[in-house]
Amino acid sequence: MSQYLLSVHTVEGDPEPDAATMERAYAAVDAFNGELRSGGAWVFANGLKPIDSATVVDGTGSEVVTTDGPFAETKEHLGGFWIIEVDDLDAALAWARKGSAACGAPVEVRPFQDEPAEG
């Protein structure tokens, strides 16, 4: 079994959905989460607060630099994610199609790196 990150992307400046649309999306995502659980693929999932709540910490130099706001200067941001465990990429892509339909946004699929062999 392999783990995959299914990430939901939002675009800054896109109009906010109305309350009824959001309620339908929440219900569809709840149903999708239930399907992931009953299908044995669920590991973890959550949505993220808006990008303006981000803080970047850079400890790569001699001094730690902390900056408000996102790291990347882009209009597309990570809005939420699922971590799933499935047999292969084809299964992950099938779940991503359902997740995208449920949340009404594109979903990127990325495999986790393999853990090094114990030696």
Averages of pLDDT over each 10 residues, the chain, 119 residues: 91 85 94 97 93 88 88 76 97 97 93 82
pLDDT of residue 68: 86
CATH code assigned to 2-111: 3.30.70.1060
The pLDDT, as a whole number, for residue 50 is 83
pLDDT at 71: 66
pLDDT of residue 72: 64
Burial zone of 30 (CB within 10 Å; 0-12 exposed, 13-18 middle, 19+ buried): exposed
Of 47, 49, 38, 46, which Cα lies nearest the Cα of 95? Answer: 38
The whole model's pTM is what? Answer: 0.83
